[in-house]
Amino acid sequence: MKVDRESFKKLLKEKGLKMTRQRLVVLEVLAENPEQHLTAEEIYDRIKAANPDIGLATVYRTVQLLLELELIDRINLDDGFVRYEIGDMGGKHHHHRHHHLICLKCGKVSAFQEDMLEALESGVKEALGFQVTDHEVKLYGYCRDCSEKEKKQNQEEKI
């Protein structure tokens, strides 16, 4: 995904902020890795070779700013790390994130876009008058590779 530099610059200007190379680089790293769920340290590791003047503290401050601008999302995958991913670059303030499948065996995290909770959200609004604007879903289980390995091991044990 490409960052629309002009839109980013305009958004920053509206908030009384300037476009800096550091801000742009952090946003671009997240935009270029949409399927990744990067920690601030991982973002820093991807930036530091080409930008040795950017420090980890700058990455943390920039990530916080991008969160406040609703350009990125903070996610918790229950692995002890705060992770970040590119958000809705279209600028919609009430959006649904994609959901995550977390393998309990290998730790692989997969994302899926299918939003199967629309009926539930409608029911909540109708029954309780509560308007859902966002949700986060994490499903735990075993990925295809781990399931197939387990199945193969079980078959070999029976022989």
How is the chain split into domains, by residue range? 1-95, 97-159
User: What is the structure's pLDDT at 107?
Assistant: 86
Is residue 97 predicted with pLDDT exceeding 90?
A: no
* pLDDT above 70 (res 23): yes
Answer whether residue 46 shows pLDDT above 50.
yes
For 140-155, letters b (16+ CB in 10 Å) and e give eebbeebeeeeeeeee
Cα–Cα nearest to 86, from 16, 10, 4: 4
Closest CA to 21 of 3, 40, 39, 45: 3
Q: Give the pTM.
A: 0.71
Question: What's residue 24's pLDDT?
Answer: 94
Span 54-95, pLDDT tens digits? 999 999 999 999 999 989 989 888 888 999 988 765 554 445
The residues, ordered by sequence, that sit 6+ positions from 8 with a Cβ below 8 Å of its Cβ are 19, 23, 24, 27, 71
Task: Say what the pLDDT of residue 96 is.
Answer: 55
Angle between the 56-68 and 21-32 helix axes, to the nearest 10 degrees?
70
CA distance 102 to 151: 19
Would you place residue 138 in the very low, low, confident or very high pLDDT band (cuts 50, 70, 90)?
confident
**Rounded mean pLDDT, 138-152:** 93
Fold of 1-95: Arc Repressor Mutant, subunit A (1.10.10)
CATH superfamily ID and name for 97-159: Ferric-uptake regulator, C-terminal dimerisarion domain (3.30.1490.190)
